[in-house]
Structure 1
């Protein structure tokens, strides 16, 4: 297998891809075309809506045939394995160092893929790598597909089956009590030698081998599985296998076993489709910024959906009537009043309002801090100019969020308010990179702030929090606090 590493936002063309993969340029062109069709690449001349808010940068010039990488994940194309790494990674990286990235991708994809795989739409081909991962995850959780055989015996070693005993044997009456000299017992025996059980073992072994051959077992932090040496071809052709799986589905009523059968059926159907198409497989996302937001929400203990009565504060009397509302639902909405034909102003239903990424409340002694975070999946540069950083719209909205909570903050006597951009870095430390302000936004005085702090955040730590669904520890939060305590506000 030939390994190619490209970075999100990198510009590539057929010549560079061919050189990296060690293939002719014509093959590089076909690969570029296939990746473009699947959304892994886009023409470099098309702007990225996800970064349309970023600060001004020099207008780039593009060579003809240049494409931009807009994907994070892995692509398998024959004997070529292409890793698309996140844009915040600065230097070179080995595939084995991407385990947290792929663990985060698995968690993100599992939120909506599990149901989609077992209840597929007609005509929609399942992602083969997703199928393989789902089959291996099911085995890890439930074990092998087996059948339980119920065996009834006379005077056996199992539990006594009283209904069968009473109906089959006459008792001896002693002291007005029945005494059974013979009895019926029931035992259960697990069978893993039938067709479907053996097929499941062979499929799992084949899945493991397929990932191992591509070097993906280590990337996905999986251990090899070798349950069967039987080749899948030995079970018959694909139509025969699918027909037998359908027969088993008709008599199987245990949910997880039904899911395994559906996954195995898709596994064989996807193999048939791959043979008819290009055979390219991929696993990842065009929306790694969503993963970044979810990771920051988990790490910084987002409280937007928590009811006011459950917040770690003594809720002011003015807000007791709203205690069942959440921090998100108390944000005011724009009010539209439109003049009707009669000349009277008519008030319309509430419009969509602003929604911050993360809001958190921290209590330390007499200090009560209200922090508004914005998870910014950007890769800015700070040189003579600040480029590829959050733009004016982001700065304005971030300062507007604190105004939306103004009454709540004042009434509940918060001692400070902090606004913060959370930007990923491939380093191991939190770094207070400075702040941004916008003079046209009204300075509301204490406890409010006129700055949005810029915090470089260790991406691997955020991803680990997302994967394990935990908040930053006290020590980790202290590392953040020290950054601002040392720097102060200039």
Structure 2
């Protein structure tokens, strides 16, 4: 496994090694006008992998496990997006198909082993009887009015493991282990003698793809078809890498952050359908425009205590008020609180929250008050605006829960206990 070097998203670019920042600029990951990194993921170059963890991540002694959490989190996020991930800035998850294909191939190998080519061979008196062929080709002896066949046509299935497809698979699995072993498994993957002894495939990449296309046309089992398609995808994906530089990650980790929090906090998927929507009056008729309605990030509820929390997943460092969400973000929360209130009875307690990545509480809450108070202990707030409570959730813990499909019950309680 290549060496892992750890950094964080939003790191000041001048603090990176010069060679790394130059390569990232060359690949378009760092724009000329940026002074901070805007990338979370993996940048592989010159035999090492630079790992950019989420902002405010606390790097522990078990660095390989942390890298594994990030790798698998990006894989789950990408896998959940059936139609890909597109926004105004293009594909927000670079190399998502590389992650998905690599993990799928490795898991298939662990579960099923190397590809086995199945051949059906005709035989006599061995294997499965073929009565129609026997009757048409052999003369029976008649005994007690019953025909007896001395030779019975039959067929046998012979499994051939030393095939070109198996060699291609073995070579790809060796490459995956070398590139991503620790990232997939969370720890070093020990040598597999059976795998290492398999000869390398013949021909170049185009020859291997041509062979896999022929093999695909002869395959019938679902597992074989899926495996061959994944092998083709891996060859095509890796063949397109630029000068041995491999990029897996996103410049927009806020999308992943929101998706992860929605899962681990057990956000209610359908709640936005309950919120009020705009209507336009035209020609004495009100026209509903539901697609332009409000869409909250995360709604969680505690039915036993009659509470609803409107949670906005904010991917900010939020170490000081200056790098915290601004007025537009506060306004959205104010309106979301008002919208949710319109859907429930008065006995339900509605609260609003920001959740930032981090392990240390820096900001407590956001308020609206009269201008001119400056920095003060005797704050005078505008009562018609709700308080927005601030929370910090360790991104490493979020990723671990996310890939293990766990609910963070304690953090849910922390949100409700404000």
Normalising by structure 2, we get a TM-score of 0.78
Residue equivalent to 2:340? 405
> What is the CA deviation profile of residues 221-241 of structure 1, one whole-angstrom value per residue up to 9, with x for unaligned ones?
766555134564x61334433
Structure 1, unaligned runs of 5 or more: 19-27, 47-66, 117-123, 306-326, 339-343
Separation of aligned partners in 2, 1:82 and 1:468: 24
Residue equivalent to 2:312? 374
Separation of aligned partners in 2, 1:353 and 1:483: 26
Separation of aligned partners in 2, 1:414 and 1:142: 56
Residue equivalent to 1:106? 75
**Candidates 321, 328, 339, aligned match of 1:393:** 328
1:71 CA drift (Å): 0.9
Separation of aligned partners in 2, 1:145 and 1:298: 36
**Cα distance, 1:282–1:483 mapped onto 2, change above 3 Å:** closer
Separation of aligned partners in 2, 1:79 and 1:463: 26
**Residue 212 (structure 2) pairs with residue 245 (structure 1):** yes
Residue equivalent to 2:17? 17
Residue equivalent to 1:328? 272
**Candidates 83, 108, 114, aligned match of 1:144:** 114
Q: Is the 8 A contact 2:71 2:184 kept in 1?
A: no
SS at structure 2 position matched to 1:41: coil
Q: Is the 8 A contact 2:297 2:311 kept in 1?
A: yes
Residue equivalent to 1:35? 24
The residue correspondences of 1:272-351 to structure 2 (distance < 5 A) are: 273-274=240-241, 277-305=242-270, 327-337=271-281, 347-350=286-289
Count matched residues: 396
> What is the CA deviation profile of residues 118-160 of structure 1, one whole-angstrom value per residue up to 9, with x for unaligned ones?
xxxxxx999766654443244345542221122343332x444
Separation of aligned partners in 2, 1:112 and 1:231: 37
Structure 2, unaligned runs of 5 or more: 86-93, 371-380
> What is the CA deviation profile of residues 33-59 of structure 1, one whole-angstrom value per residue up to 9, with x for unaligned ones?
44124343233x45xxxxxxxxxxxxx
Give RMSD over aligned pairs.
3.9
Residue equivalent to 1:58? none
| Worse-matched range after superposition: 73-82 or 2-11 | 2-11
**Cα distance, 1:4–1:255 mapped onto 2, change above 3 Å:** same
Residue equivalent to 2:301? 361
SS at structure 2 position matched to 1:68: coil
**Candidates 217, 220, 224, aligned match of 1:257:** 224
Residue equivalent to 2:396? 460
Separation of aligned partners in 2, 1:284 and 1:16: 18
Normalising by structure 1, we get a TM-score of 0.68
Q: Is the 8 A contact 1:152 1:185 kept in 2?
A: yes
Separation of aligned partners in 2, 1:437 and 1:125: 41
Separation of aligned partners in 2, 1:110 and 1:16: 31
Residue equivalent to 1:437? 367
**Cα distance, 1:202–1:2 mapped onto 2, change above 3 Å:** closer
**Cα distance, 1:334–1:459 mapped onto 2, change above 3 Å:** same
